[in-house]
Amino acid sequence: MDRHVRVYADMRRVALLDEGGDHVCVVTEPVAVTTCGRLTPLRLSAVAHLRPGHSAAERPHPATERADLTGPR
Pick the closest to residue 23 from 64, 70, 73 (CA basis): 64
pTM: 0.44
State pLDDT tens for residues 51-65. 887 777 776 665 554
Instruction: With beta carbons less than 8 A apart as the criterion, state whether 67 and 19 touch.
Output: no
Q: What is the pLDDT of residue 62?
A: 56
State pLDDT tens for residues 23-47. 889 999 999 988 887 777 889 999 9
Q: What is the pLDDT of residue 11?
A: 92
Give one DSSP letter per residue of 18-44, joined into a string.
Answer: --SSS--EEEEEEEEEEE-S---PPPH
Q: What is the pLDDT of residue 32?
A: 92
